[in-house]
Amino acid sequence: MKRIVAAAAAFGCVMGVTSAQAGETLDRVMKNKLLVEVTDQAYQPFSFMNDKGEMDGFDIDVSKEFAKRLGVDYKVETPSWAIITAGNWKGRWDICICSMTPTAERGQVLDFVNEYYAAPAVIVVNADNEDIKSAADLSGKKLGAEAGSTFEKYIEKELVVETPDGQSQKIEFPFENVTATPYDSEDTAFQDLALGTGKRLDAVVSGYMTAKERIDNSDGKFKIVDGTLFHEPIWVAADKGDPEWNAKIKEIFKEMEADGTLAKISEKWIGKDISSKQ
C-alpha cells in the first residue's frame, strides 16, 4: 500500500526508541504458541473484513501460512495505520505482513526484513471527472490518501523510495499547490470521492490493486487515470532490533517462495504472481 528508506545507516541508528532484544520476539512467539500479526483493516484485496466478519485477503493468507510453518496459532489485530508505522510495538505485535513500503522515517523505528511483492501507485477519480488525466493535472486539487501512507507522502511531495538493499527510484511531482486530505481508512476516502468531483475530493492516490478492487465493485463510480505514479516495493516489517527474529522471517519466506506457496496465494487474490524473489 502504501508505503521508503534512506541509507542503510538509517536502519542502524535508532534514537529515543525502545528496541526489541535479540531473540526476544521469537522466544515470545514460541513460548506463547501464538503469532500476532498487525495489518490494515480495510485494504482489499490484501486485508479486509469478509462477509463472515473475519479478516481475509492476500496478507492474511501469507501471515497465516507463516504462523503455520512456525507451528503456532495465529491472531490478527488492526489498529490505525499511523499507529502501526510508528513502531515501538513493545511486544504487542510480532510481525507486519501488511503491505508496507519502507521509508526513511519508518526505518528509524522498524526493521524492514524482506520484500515479498511490488505494486504500482495510481490516481483514482470519480467517473464524472474529465479534468484529471495525469499527475500534471493535480495542481490546485484536493487529494485524499490514507494517513501515514506513502500515498500521503507523494501528495505532500515528500516521498523518497529507497529500500534497505540500496535500490531507489526517481519520483516525479509534476503538480503544485495541492491539498492533502488524510483519512484513517481508504474506505472513507473512497466514500467521499463517490459523492462527486470536488464535493469533498477531486481524486484519491492509492495502490493499483486495491483501487481496481474498489472500481470493480463500485457500479461505475470510479476510474483510474492512466499512468503509474511510482512503484511500491512491499516489505515485511518487524519491531526494531531483533536479528534472530528477522533471520527466521527470511528463512520461512524463502521456503514459501521455493515451494510455490507465495505464488499460489498471489494467484488466488491478484490473478497473477506478483510475489518477489526471496
Single-letter residue type at 206: S
List, for residues 139-184, the tens digit of each pLDDT value. Answer: 999 999 999 899 999 999 999 887 887 888 889 999 999 999 999 9
pLDDT above 70: residue 7: no
pLDDT above 60: residue 29: yes
Beta 55-56 vs 73-77: how paired, if at all? unpaired
Predicted pLDDT at 162: 78
Predicted pLDDT at 183: 96
Rounded Cα distance between 229 and 194, Å, is: 22
Please report the domains of the chain, with CATH numbers, ordered by start residue. 9-115+235-270 (3.40.190.10), 119-231 (3.40.190.10)
pLDDT above 50: residue 111: yes
CB atoms within 10 A of CB 49: 14
The predicted model gives 12-25 an average pLDDT of: 56
Q: How far is CA 177 from the centre of its chain?
A: 26
pLDDT above 80: residue 196: yes
CA separation, residue 111 to residues 34, 148, 153, 173, 245 (Å): 21, 17, 20, 28, 10
Rounded Cα distance between 14 and 109, Å, is: 7
Give me the residue label for grid cell 499527475.
Answer: 135
Contact 98, 37 (CB under 8 A): yes
Beta 203-207 vs 142-146: how paired, if at all? parallel
Give me the residue label for grid cell 490546485.
Answer: 140
Instruction: Tell me the three state secondary structure of residue 70.
Output: helix
pTM, two decimal places: 0.78
pLDDT above 90: residue 20: no
Rounded Cα distance between 241 and 227, Å, is: 38
